[in-house]
Each structure stands twice: as C-alpha cells, then as structure tokens.
C-alpha cells in the first residue's frame, strides 16, 4: 500500500507524541508491549512519544487501532489533559531556537517532574517570551518609537529645562564661567563626578564609549589627527551619570536616553547662560547666524545648528526646523515646530524617507563651493521657508545639516538677502518623484536598477539591552583595562 510510505506531517509531533503516551499509560501498557503490537521497536515508539520522530501514516493508523482510538484523534490539536498540555508547552519552549541562548539546562519532561514545577516552568517561559516580544525592536517598533520621540521634542519646543539646569550646575561646580569647553574643562567635569577619562586605541567597535562604574573610568576613542575632538562623546557618557539613567527598559527608552545625553553634551558645549545673550543680541541686530555659534563655542556646525533649535523657540520666539540628511536625500535626523512637512511613512516616522530634491538640504549638494553655508527660499505647499544648509563630510558619508525658519521670521537671519529660490510641490509626485513622462515612456521596461539597501534603517534593531553592542567584546575590553 502506498500509504505505508507516506510520511504524515502533523502540525506538532510533540502533541501527537504526548497524546500517544497519555493513551498508552491510561491503558497501563508498556512501550515494549505497544511497539511489539504494531511491529516497531520500543526505542522507535519512544522517539515518537517524545515528539522526536514523525510517525508514518501506517504506524499511526496501527497505533490508533491498538490503543482503541481513531487516527484523527491522535492528530487532534487539543491536549488530552491539563498536565499533557503543560508538558507539550514546556517541550516546545525548550526546543525553540531561542532556548540555547538562555544558557539554562533543559528539564527532562517526564512523569517525575512535579506538576507544580511544570506549571512554574511554563509560566516562566511565557513571561520570558512576553518580555522578549516587548523588547524586540522590530523596524516598525523602532519607527513608532522615533515618531513618539519627535512628538515629545516638538511639544517641548525642543527645550528641556531640567537638562539645562543639570548642565549649568555641573559647569558652576567646576567654576567654568565663560569660553569654549576645552579638553581640560572636560577632564575637570569628569573629575567633579569622580571619573577619569581614558583614551584608548582598542575601544570595542560596537561602542562609542564604555563606562566602568567600578573603577570610575570612561573609555573613549583616541581622537584621530585632524578629526573633530572627542569632547561630545565624553560629555555624552557623563550625561548618563548626571541624568541618572537606568538600564533602558526598551528601545523607546534607549532612544530617549540618546536624545537626552546628546542634549546634555550640547548644553555644556554651548551653555544656555552664555548663548542666550549672544542670540538675543544677534536678533536685535537682525543678524542671527549658526556659524557664529559654531565659531564662538568651537563646535561643529551640526552641534551649533542643533543647539540653535533648543534655544530659538524658547528664548527668541522663533519656530524652526532642523534636518540632517545623506547626500542621497535620506533623512537621518529631523525636527520641526514651524509647520514644515517632512515626508513620512504610514507609521508617522520620517527616518529613512527622502526629502524633496528642491529643498535647500538637497540643493546644497549641487553647489560648486561646498565649504560655505548655502541659503535659499523654498515655496512649499505649507508655506515659504528660508533655510541655511552646510555640508558635513564624515567617515560614514557626506551629509547636509540644515536649519530653517518660516518666511515671516526670516528678518532675523543673516543670509536672508539671498536671491536663490526654489519651488517644492512634494508630496505631489509630479514635483520630483515621478519621472518626466517622455523619459518614462522612452525607458519603460528597459531598466533594472539594483537597489542599495539601507540596512541600518530597515533591519530589525539588534537584540540586547543596548542595541547592537557586542557584550563579549565590551567585557573582554574592560577586563584587559582594569
């Protein structure tokens, strides 16, 4: 009969096995007895009962007949008893791909395992699975967390008073009153918190800094010659300590902490107390420029631009927007409270979206001189904006950093006399996303571009409390340095 060579594929061999064992024991029969009756070895039946072998249909039919049940009964998904259901669930959990990573031994699921212990183990596996689901940052989870964070920043006008105060107190404690935050001042700030900054050449590649809270050291990368200094990284690491961050509970928490330490570092590099009078003065002179903040506080254009957005609405009553995009036009970071419409995905996230090619942030890449900031007026469906943009070359690629204000606020900004103008009709596809009809027709069906994958934006967030950090590498590193 052909049926004897057909291997059935039941939905769950564990459930079939448990059901068989339940029936055999209920009939007070031994493995040898039942195996002999259907013409297989006792060890083969044991494998089937343990769910480690799928019975062939012929064997299944014979077993059912011998145990006085129908083959369909054996395949039923419902467990014959509560105890069996628990056994099946524990077996399943212990055979899951994720089980070995837990580093705990598997428990033998047999009659000698007390039901109480079985209940407890199953309960633990259930809550572990729930916690892992909670923590697993899928791309969608990450996008939602990003969107929620941007909303929080928007509602606060990107100004966080408690972080400003924490930064100010720390500066006051080391007696810093004016002037740029030099490396020496950074060392003093660390010392004030009881920490030493150690620059190393072997910092784990998956980290930006590593803090050893036992020996009270912050390990930082050795600044490369000609590259921007490591002050920001050091101050961000100190930010975790000052802001009393706990181990992040989930990805959203991790993102919030990142924003807060970034803010904290910027608030130390460009102190509110020093920057606000300068900005107010510039506003009175109708001469506000990001470059001035950059030069006066010896920071990067990005830090100056970002810091401007913290203070502009709160202290100058200026609504603003900020963005950092790649040379391909893809958003890495953006913020607005001036009504500019960033492109969004259906979850409301903007990271990874491409901005209009007529925006200042993209037009700046077309300029012959990329060393100077570029200003432009852009008419958009939500109004006219004036923006200033600068190109930032990094080891990770070329980016543009832009700050913009609505037309009615441009009177305060240096560079408003620019005659550069552009019109953006995005999200209307006819603006810049849909190719011109003539070109589209000419090339229809004749082109096959191979896409570059934005793996950092699309992949699920790496697992772990600190996403993407290689724990083994970090602990080995700490051990070597302690």
Of residues 356 and 373, the one with the C-beta less far from Zn ion:
356
Of residues 334 and 356, the one with the C-beta less far from Zn ion:
356
Query: Near Zn ion by CB under 5 A, which window of 170-178, 253-261, 355-363, 443-451?
Result: 355-363
Rounded least distance, CB 352 to Zn ion, Å = 17
Rounded least distance, CB 232 to Zn ion, Å = 33
CA atoms within 13 A on the CB side of 133: 6
- Using CB under 5 A, which of 356, 373, 387, 401 touches Zn ion? 356
Rounded least distance, CB 433 to Zn ion, Å = 7
How many Cβ atoms are within 10 Å of 33's Cβ, its own excluded? Answer: 14
Of residues 305 and 432, the one with the C-beta less far from Zn ion:
432
Query: Residue 112 is encoded by which pair of tokens?
Result: 């000698």
Binding of Zn ion by 355 (CB under 5 A): no
Rounded least distance, CB 356 to Zn ion, Å = 3
Of residues 329 and 406, the one with the C-beta less far from Zn ion:
329
Sites for Zn ion among residues 137-156 (CB under 5 A): none
Of residues 27 and 423, the one with the C-beta less far from Zn ion:
423
Query: Near Zn ion by CB under 5 A, which window of 28-36, 89-97, 348-356, 445-453?
Result: 348-356
* Strands of 196-200's sheet in order across: 196-200, 217-221, 210-212
What is the rounded distance in angstroms from the CA atom of residue 19 to the CA atom of residue 78? 9
Rounded least distance, CB 422 to Zn ion, Å = 9
Q: What mask of x and - would describe binding to Zn ion in positions 397 to 436, judged by CB under 5 A?
A: ---------------------------x-x----xx----
Rounded least distance, CB 403 to Zn ion, Å = 20
Of residues 257 and 363, the one with the C-beta less far from Zn ion:
363
Of residues 109 and 426, the one with the C-beta less far from Zn ion:
426
Of residues 94 and 424, the one with the C-beta less far from Zn ion:
424
Sites for Zn ion among residues 36-55 (CB under 5 A): none
Of residues 189 and 356, the one with the C-beta less far from Zn ion:
356
Contacts with Zn ion by CB under 5 A: the residue count is: 5
Rounded least distance, CB 341 to Zn ion, Å = 11
Residue nearest to Zn ion (CB): 356
Query: Near Zn ion by CB under 5 A, which window of 92-100, 144-152, 166-174, 350-358?
Result: 350-358
Rounded least distance, CB 79 to Zn ion, Å = 59
Q: Which chain residues interact with Zn ion by CB under 5 A?
A: 356, 424, 426, 431-432
């Amino acid at each position: 009969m052909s049926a004897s060579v057909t291997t059935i594929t039941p939905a769950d061999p564990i459930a079939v096995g448990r059901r068989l064992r339940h029936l055999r024991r209920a009939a007070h029969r031994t493995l040898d007895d039942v195996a002999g009756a259907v013409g297989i070895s006792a060890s083969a039946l044991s494998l089937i009962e343990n769910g480690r072998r799928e019975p062939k249909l012929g064997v299944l039919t014979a077993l059912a007949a011998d145990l006085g049940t129908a083959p369909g009964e054996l395949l039923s998904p419902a467990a014959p008893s509560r105890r069996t259901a628990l056994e099946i669930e524990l077996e399943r959990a212990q055979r899951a791909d994720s089980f070995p990573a837990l580093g705990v031994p598997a428990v033998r699921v047999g009659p000698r395992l007390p039901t109480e212990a079985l209940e407890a183990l199953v309960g633990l596996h259930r809550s572990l699975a729930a916690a892992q689901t909670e923590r697993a940052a899928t791309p969608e989870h990450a996008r939602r967390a990003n969107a929620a964070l941007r909303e929080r920043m928007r509602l606060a006008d990107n100004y966080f008073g408690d972080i400003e105060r924490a930064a100010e107190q720390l500066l006051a404690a080391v007696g810093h009153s004016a002037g740029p935050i030099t490396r020496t001042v950074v060392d003093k700030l660390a010392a004030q918190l009881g920490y030493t900054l150690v620059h190393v050449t072997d910092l784990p590649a998956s980290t930006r800094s590593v803090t050893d809270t036992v020996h009270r050291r912050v390990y930082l990368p050795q600044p490369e010659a000609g590259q921007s200094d490591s002050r920001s990284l050091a101050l961000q690491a100190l930010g975790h300590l000052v802001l009393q961050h706990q181990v992040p509970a989930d990805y959203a928490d991790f993102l919030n902490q990142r924003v807060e330490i970034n803010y904290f570092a910027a608030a130390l590099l460009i102190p509110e107390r020093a920057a606000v009078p300068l900005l107010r003065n510039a506003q009175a002179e109708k001469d506000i420029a990001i470059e001035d903040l950059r030069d006066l506080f010896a920071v990067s254009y990005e830090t100056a631009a970002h810091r401007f957005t913290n203070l502009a609405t709160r202290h100058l009553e200026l609504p603003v927007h900020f963005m950092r995009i790649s040379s391909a036009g893809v958003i890495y970071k953006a913020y607005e409270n001036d009504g500019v419409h960033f492109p969004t995905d259906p979850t409301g996230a903007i990271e990874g979206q491409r901005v209009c090619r007529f925006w200042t942030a993209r037009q700046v890449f077309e300029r012959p001189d990329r060393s100077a900031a570029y200003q432009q007026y852009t008419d958009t469906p939500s109004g006219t904006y004036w923006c200033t943009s600068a190109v930032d070359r990094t080891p990770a690629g070329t980016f543009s950093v832009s700050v913009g204000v609505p037309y009615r606020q441009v009177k305060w900004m240096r560079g408003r006399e620019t005659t550069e103008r552009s019109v953006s009709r995005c999200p209307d596809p006819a603006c810049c996303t849909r190719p011109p009809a003539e070109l589209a027709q000419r090339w229809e069906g004749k082109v096959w571009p191979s896409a570059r994958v934005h793996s950092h934006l699309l992949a699920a967030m790496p697992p772990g409390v600190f996403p993407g950090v290689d724990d083994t590498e970090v602990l080995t590193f700490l051990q070597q340095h302690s």
